[in-house]
Amino acid sequence: MSLTIKDVAEKAGVSVTTVSRVLNDRGYISAKTRKKVMTTMKELNYTPNEMARSFLSNKTRFIALIVPTTENPFFGELTFHIEKELAQKGYNLFICNSLNDVENEKKYLRLLQEKRVDGVIVGSHNINISEYEHFENKIVSIERELTKGIPIVQSDNYAGGRLATQELIDKGCRSILCIRGDQHIKTPANDRSIAYQEVMEENNLNYFFEEVPFQLQDQEKREIVNQIFSGEVMYDGIVAGDDIIAKMCINSAVTHGVAVPEELKVIGFDGTKIVRQLSPELSTIIQPIEKLAQNSVEILLSILNDEKVNQVTKLPVKLLSSISTKK
Amino acid sequence: MSLTIKDVAEKAGVSVTTVSRVLNDRGYISAKTRKKVMTTMKELNYTPNEMARSFLSNKTRFIALIVPTTENPFFGELTFHIEKELAQKGYNLFICNSLNDVENEKKYLRLLQEKRVDGVIVGSHNINISEYEHFENKIVSIERELTKGIPIVQSDNYAGGRLATQELIDKGCRSILCIRGDQHIKTPANDRSIAYQEVMEENNLNYFFEEVPFQLQDQEKREIVNQIFSGEVMYDGIVAGDDIIAKMCINSAVTHGVAVPEELKVIGFDGTKIVRQLSPELSTIIQPIEKLAQNSVEILLSILNDEKVNQVTKLPVKLLSSISTKK
DNA sequence: TTGAAAGCGCTAACAG
DNA sequence: CTGTTAGCGCTTTCAA
């Protein structure tokens, strides 16, 4: 196949040990020998075999990232930033799209064990997966509460929920609907609807919920949203689960003859780059995606290094609002 | 560290070969022995070490994907579909965000050699990178013309360019601007502006170009776009390089008091899922992203299998237009 | 300052 | 049907 350290050694007239030494810059070597070996490697166009090294060291320098799908802009951007961080620290990214399917997730986890990845970042999780146990001390989770002592990095969802709700109230809304995800899945995002409810109660306003699970097809989501606007619309504000749902609400409202933002004000969640490019007018809560990525990578590498880390890292969100007070 | 085939062999009272045989389902084994080994593996919770296997077989079952950035929805979706296809065929995806930087790309290519990935899919390419030579017969390219006999999978950009231009003309536009990417980089996307020019000439209309390189920052792109609308606007139609630029044009036009679509009609390119979710009203040329992914994976795996493949695969695009003829 | 030899976990001849 | 043995490419003692 391709050249080995042995070929280099023979050509250079030294032992494989010596070649290994210059390769790793370890131990004593005479300048002359080093130079000869270097030249030989160049001449032969030798590339060290990382597989062999990994095998020996029991380290692959691969980190796996499990997300529902990189198709979703939040995860697409997260993936980008995580890859960038990892590459900078000498690690490579192995992508797993779970599609929020438990079986997929199990299959990947088994695979990750077999492939001996050095660590795992989980951005998608379906409870009760025992396979996670095998990765103790090699896992960090983003926006998901896994079992036991697995560190979690998350946005300040509670603050985000408060900000969004308060913004709508400040801008004159009184009958506000909160669209949230599947309540069976325990995620920090649930804190948003808790915050929403609290703010509503503090303002002596009634609260309303609608559930739109993340893993539904677009069409199904759209149908739920359309139902809100068929018949008499009883809301003048919506705190949406994410920007895509927010946009669906706006589109559906307009289609049903509801004026936005005059009669209905909508606020989204995530604030990904692409959404801000395509719909700069959309008000939303911006998640610190790059920081989520940086922190999760940093924490994971610390764990791998047997360092002590914080169990919970909560990062601040930001309100981006262009809602005017005009009714 | 973790358990090896030897541990299983000892516990089960057989040789490592026997364990290897049941593991790989190869050769003759008595049902009884097989069962005993299986049970032992379960009991010990043994996971085969893929690193060792890879090392031995010289196959990693890793395929690398080089893209500018998964942050961009086109590449985010492409990444998703490629990963899905690969997973289905027993391969895993190693993501490389080149950021369109030549140095990054070189670094990755060197790394990919070291890591001994089985193949590479290139969705980003900066010419004259000699490192690509090392991957002969292991590469397929998407929308990029690489050197020599590297197979390419692409959208029918020429047809897309014609469709877009003709649509604007059909809907009454006469002074149409074409926004294209960097002309120094040779990509099939250039066929779009060629098609645009041909259609304009066929209709005896003047053609106009503006260049907005893909790798510019958003802010820089926005400035170029804003310039188009500062002062007197001389266009009533725009064929944009992609949907994001299209949206920038629309936003800028509206800001500058130009009515869309009454005074200006814009058509984008890509038609990614997220764009259609966020801006369903945007007219665009839909690229067959999933098919691009499927075909590139299929072709790559064929090459790895030493099968003959087509040098060029061109996939049809689709016009998605909601432009009305009303002036 | 350099080399010989053992061994990482697994598979694949080759014997038995 | 099962076991012995060699070896994949590299690093790492241990000697020289």
Distance from CA of A202 to the nearest CA of B (A): 33
Nearest CA in chain A to B107: A87
Which residues of A fall within a CB distance of 8 Å from B114?
47-50
pLDDT tens string A160-170: 999 999 999 99
Mean pLDDT score across all residues of chain A: 92
What is the nearest nucleotide to A16, using C1' and CA?
A: C3
How crowded is residue A39: how many other Cβ atoms within 10 Å of its Cβ? Answer: 12
Strands (E), A174-231: 176-180, 208-211
Which residue's structure tokens are 């985000």? A160
Best of A277, A279, A282, A290 to substitute, by most chain B Cβ atoms within 10 angstroms, is: A277
With contact defined as beta carbons under 8 Å apart, do B206 and B197 qualify? Answer: no
Q: Is B320 helix (H, G, I), strand (E, B) or coil?
A: strand
Q: What is the dihedral of CA B194, B197, B199, B200, to 10 degrees?
A: 170
- 9-68 of chain B touching strand D, CB 7 A cut-off: 13-18, 21, 27-30, 32-34, 55-56, 58
Distance CA B295, CA A185 (A): 36
| Strands A92-97 and B92-97, sheet pairing | antiparallel
Q: pLDDT category, A126, cuts 50, 70, 90?
A: low
Q: Determine the pLDDT at residue A325.
A: 61
Q: pLDDT category, B231, cuts 50, 70, 90?
A: confident
With contact defined as beta carbons under 8 Å apart, do B155 and B176 qualify? Answer: no
Residue span(s) of chain A under CATH 1.10.260.40 come to 5-57
B95–A96: do the CB atoms touch at under 8 Å? no
Is some CB atom of chain A closer than 8 A to the CB atom of B79?
Answer: yes
Residue span(s) of chain A under CATH 3.40.50.2300 come to 157-288
Distance from CA of B34 to the nearest CA of A (A): 21
| Strands A318-320 and A283-286, sheet pairing | antiparallel
- Among candidate residues A168, A170, A256, A188, the one with its CA nearest the CA of residue A178: A168
pLDDT tens string A247-299: 999 999 999 999 999 999 999 999 999 999 889 899 999 999 999 999 999 99
B residues 144-203 closer than 8 Å to A (CB): none
Strand C at less than 7 A from CB of B16? yes
With contact defined as beta carbons under 8 Å apart, do A110 and A278 qualify? Answer: no
Q: Is B126's pLDDT higher than 70?
A: no
B115–A50: do the CB atoms touch at under 8 Å? yes
- Domain A157-288 annotated CATH 3.40.50.2300: yes
* Identity of the amino acid at A27: G
Residue A128's contacts (CB-CB under 8 Å, 6 or more residues apart) are none
A residues 118-137 closer than 8 Å to B (CB): 134
C1' of D8 to CA of B243 (Å): 50
Q: How many residues does the structure list for chain A?
A: 327
Q: Is B233's pLDDT higher than 90?
A: no
pLDDT tens string B21-37: 999 888 788 888 899 99
Distance CA A294, CA A314 (A): 13
Q: pLDDT category, A222, cuts 50, 70, 90?
A: very high
Backbone angles phi, psi at B92, to 5 degrees: -120, 155
Chain A to chain B, count of Cβ pairs less than 8 Å apart? 137
What is the nearest nucleotide to B9, using C1' and CA?
A: D3
C1' of C16 to CA of B7 (Å): 24
pLDDT tens string A299-309: 999 999 999 99
B41 vs A66, A107, A143, B3, CA distance in Å? 27, 18, 35, 10
Q: Is B327's pLDDT higher than 60?
A: no
Could you tell me what percentage of chain A is helix, strand and coil, using 3-state DSSP and rounding each to the nearest 5?
45, 15, 40
SS (H, E, C) B73-134: HHHHHHHHHHHHHHHHCCCEEEEEECCCCHHHHHHHHHHHHHHCCCEEEECCCCCCCHHHHH
How crowded is residue B248: how many other Cβ atoms within 10 Å of its Cβ? Answer: 25
- Among candidate residues B189, B144, B180, the one with its CA nearest the CA of residue B287: B189
Distance from CA of B47 to the nearest CA of A (A): 6
Strand C at less than 7 A from CB of A27? yes
C1' of C8 to CA of B100 (Å): 39
B76–A94: do the CB atoms touch at under 8 Å? no
A44 vs A17, A41, A53, A86, B223, CA distance in Å? 18, 5, 20, 31, 50
Residue A36, class by beta-carbon neighbours within 10 Å (0-12 exposed, 13-18 middle, 19+ buried)? middle
B114–A247: do the CB atoms touch at under 8 Å? no
With contact defined as beta carbons under 8 Å apart, do A123 and A65 qualify? Answer: yes
Distance from CA of A231 to the nearest CA of B (A): 23
Q: Is B268 helix (H, G, I), strand (E, B) or coil?
A: strand
CATH number among 3.50.50.60, 3.30.420.130, 3.40.50.1860, 1.10.260.40, domain B5-57: 1.10.260.40
Residue B238's contacts (CB-CB under 8 Å, 6 or more residues apart) are B176, B177, B178, B179, B246, B249, B264, B265, B266, B267
